[in-house]
Amino acid sequence: MDNTTILVIAAVAVVVLLLILWMAMRKKRTDALRDQYGDEYDRTVEDRGSTDKAERDLIEREKRVHQFDIRPLDASERERFTGEWTETKALFVDAPNEAVLRADRLLTNVMQTRGFPMADFDRRYEDLTVDYGDVARHYRAGHEIADRQHDASTEDLRQALNHYEKLFAEMVSGGKVDRDGDGIDDRVETRRIDRDGDGVDDRVEAAPASERPHTTKSLLG
């Protein structure tokens, strides 16, 4: 076998190896996105018309949301919004259409207060799917009913309010954001407070022992 043949075989082997590695990386990325987004992954593929476009969209969505400064509500904000939500639910008895519209506006106000940028519904929904996929779908379902509320029955409107309530509860509670799956709220990991200089977030030290990470390494990543 001459040198040229050997070089050709080696080049082909390298190309095949690179192709295998590329396919493995693509599968790993696809699996990770499917795990993170669930049904939203399939919905985005259908909406964008191809897997490649959908995955690029989901990755860009995540990059965009990670630049936001999302924060929990403080005590006074939580109390105020909870009171408004109670009034909205009470309004449903006499004016279900108005109650659903008010619930939609209230959710927008809560999200804006927490740091989500103002945009149209589709963008707000996409932003929610990154860290709040389980309840984002309720937001979409409720909004779809609200959009056709003049043709919706009272029971449909009740379902819309129930969908909205699931998102409202999550937005008001603050919910843990754990993108890397290590069991630690990413907001603690990325905005550590260490006044005593011991390398451990002071908020974690103050938390009940059952809620603390087991090691300093797990906290710092």
Q: How far, CA to CA in Å, does 169 sit from each of 46, 73, 95, 165, 166?
A: 30, 12, 22, 6, 5
Q: Could you tell me which residue, 169 or 192, shows the higher pLDDT? A: 169
Residue 194: pLDDT band by 50, 70, 90 thresholds?
A: very low
pLDDT, tens digit, 9 for 90 and up, residues 54-66 = 999 899 999 999 8
Q: Determine which of 1-15, 34-48, 59-73, 118-132 has the lowest per-residue pLDDT on average.
A: 1-15
Averaged over 81-92, what is the pLDDT?
96
Give 104-140 pLDDT, tens digit per residue: 999 999 999 999 988 888 899 999 999 888 899 999 9
**pLDDT at residue 207 is higher than 80:** no
Residue 209 binned pLDDT confidence (cut-offs 50, 70, 90): very low
pTM assigned to the model? 0.65
What whole-number distance in Å separates Cα of residue 163 and Cα of residue 145? 10
Banded model confidence at residue 40, pLDDT cuts 50, 70, 90: confident
